[in-house]
Amino acid sequence: MKKILIILTISVITAVTTFGQFFEGEIIYTNTYKSKNPKVSDQQWTSMLGSTQEYLIKGGDYKSITNGSLVQWQLYINKDNKLYNKMSNSETAFWNDASVQGDEILKVELNNGVTEILGYKCDEVILTCKSGVQKYYFNSKLSVDTKLFANHKFGNWFDYLSKSKSLPLKSVIETAQFTMESVSTEVKQMKLEAKIFELPAVIKTEKSPY
C-alpha cells in the first residue's frame, strides 16, 4: 500500500513566453510532508520522498528527479503512454500503464485568483478523490498541450490538466499516509534535448506489480 501511495503521489507530484507557446523547460519545487502515520515521522517521509524536485518537460514527455533516499526519478514517455519509476532499492525501473487511473474523482472545483507564487497570480483546482483531496495552483502562462496527455489518467493527471491546461506552481496532495505540499521556487523556460526523456540504455524495465 505504501508503494502505491508513493507512486501515485509522485505522479501528481511534477512558463510560456508572452507569445503563447507551450512551456518547455524546468520547474524546481520544494516539498514538505505532514505524516498521518504514527510510525513514520515528517522527516522520514521527507528523507524517503525528497525535499526538492526537478521537473523537466518537453512536449508530451516529462521527467521528475528528486533528492529522496528511496525515490530517485520518474519518467513519462508519451509515445508509449508509460510512467517509469526508479527507486533506490531496485536496479529495475517499474512502469505503469498511464491509461489506468487507479483512483476515482468525486468532485471538481475551480476557484479564480486564490494566491500568488513567484509573481504569478494563481487559480485553484480542487479534486476531491477517493484517495484524498488534491489541490493545485496554476497560472495559464505555464500552459501545456493537453491533447498530448489525454490518455494520462494515472495519478488523476489529465483530470487536473483538463481544467487548468497548465502546470502547477503549487500542489497540496492528501493521502491516507501523509499530506504533501509542493511549492515552486524557480521556473526556467529553456529548450531541452530529447535524449533527457529517454530511458538509460542499460536499465532493466518491468511492469509495476502495483
147-205 pLDDT, tens per residue?
A: 999 999 999 999 999 999 999 999 999 999 999 999 999 999 999 999 999 999 889 99
CA distances from 82 to 35, 121, 127, 154, 163 (A): 29, 32, 23, 10, 22
| In the predicted structure, residue 19 carries a pLDDT above the cut 70 | no
Burial of 69 (0-12, 13-18, 19+ CB in 10 A): middle
What pLDDT score was predicted for residue 17? 32
What pLDDT score was predicted for residue 21? 83
What pLDDT score was predicted for residue 3? 54
pLDDT band at 10 (very low <50, low <70, confident <90, very high): low
* Average pLDDT rounded to a whole number, residues 93-107: 95
Residues 6 or more apart in contact with residue 119 via CB below 8 angstroms: none
Local structure of 100: helix, strand or coil: coil
- Of 8-22, 25-39, 55-69, 186-200, give the lowest mean pLDDT range: 8-22
What pLDDT score was predicted for residue 15? 32
CATH of domain 2-207: 2.50.20.10
What pLDDT score was predicted for residue 179? 97
Distance CA 64, CA 164 (A): 20
45-98 per-position pLDDT tens digit: 999 999 999 999 999 999 999 999 999 999 999 999 999 999 999 999 999 999
Beta strands 25-35 and 105-117 are unpaired
What pLDDT score was predicted for residue 2? 52
Higher pLDDT, 46 or 2: 46
